[in-house]
Chains A and B, each alone.
Chain A
């Protein structure tokens, strides 16, 4: 598989994902091509947003990095160590440095345990992970996520609202001082006003703890708020990677443009979404040849059918995988 190119990768990064492929077996000996040759990296202190619609492989990518899905091929290097080459106990050790926040804040918490146990879980598993007073550290983290009240620790998850539960999840991850924090749709189950609370909290924590984050979401306006760079995915491949401001002001891949034009009430000056995208998402069992977006793209030509586009630097730091990149079309 040609993949979508690796020219955009940098050196000396915290996390580097190269040519990641994740495939699941399906019925009748078919294969679900969930992620097909995705490459990206994450610098220290950076937040990379991954956006795309359902079926684009963004969640699978996050879970594969966390080793919650088995990787078909490709490498995931954390601090220079290739996780794909590690196995069993070594792998478990390696991923101590990564933590993940899931979409459903309530389901992510074991209903039969108390908040104190949940937040301390990492320390219980790994033993003392840092110098100094562990209890004071846990208390500090709880305070940082807005759960400083004394009586919180003895309660159980069902006594909290969705937003509070997500704070507990964040505290549990932060206690481990992760090198990389992966957030999979962390606010999509929450109400608008609570969403804003959690987003502000994450932005504040990023500064306070120097977090490096991978922020996965279907919601462009939310991704835009938190991310330094944004990566757009479609049907298991990368369409475009750019600095957040560049992507929103000059979306170049036809799919990115359609995605942005679909934001309700947007003021981006793009044509109506119905002019930028048509038809239905093809099956990941049998993705289109060449460019995977070609079946829905208004600009598609023969070359799109025959040749898979690779990521090309369109402007400095703005990478696009398209044979007919267009800003003004």
Chain B
């Protein structure tokens, strides 16, 4: 039961961390708005549910598109600063500003939506809409299927298409990519759209396992960054590894400790994520995938 929740949570963290890592690699921007990207997805899903009566599971393809638009727009806002080669501190402040704008927009929208449907949308869950198989929640299967499907598509895109190769080339060495005639600008914009899309899908699934409020994004951002950093911010596969490490330990360690120290310990979930992140930074700052496993150091 606890493991079930831990796996669901990990799947969603992987999607969110993937986006964060992707945009960090391509544009060198640590995106503090990634959590709010997800909550935008949650609110679009709840709108489709309340107004058009579309089950959240069926609104996922739509979230993919809407999320891509949010991600792409964010890139457009950041673009003048990226082009100016602004310091990373300035870029971080800019994403904090975008996060605040998103928070304000989500908050305002939640109240408007409440007025339209006649009851409060400031907080909501989807768990009552879920199916179950042999006592296991549907979201367990759906989150696994969606994550695997998206990962598979991402793999195909990155490793089996010309654009994917160009994308990886520009991640590694944008200057050299430019000399090959690759439109590096385009690959950057794409990575932001992709990041937004993955986050929005995660956001559509999140209400099946926890209550959503406009501020939720600002809380899960800790876990997202912890996942990306633990896995290695400069490696796409790092998000995968980090997402599961943080997701599982956040849920399982907290559960274990609370069974010893009492339920009061449940609030320390984010502290667990934080501690793992700090341990990683102290001992392997480049993250798990940044370690040169078993290889001799190159000249």
Physical interaction between A and B: no
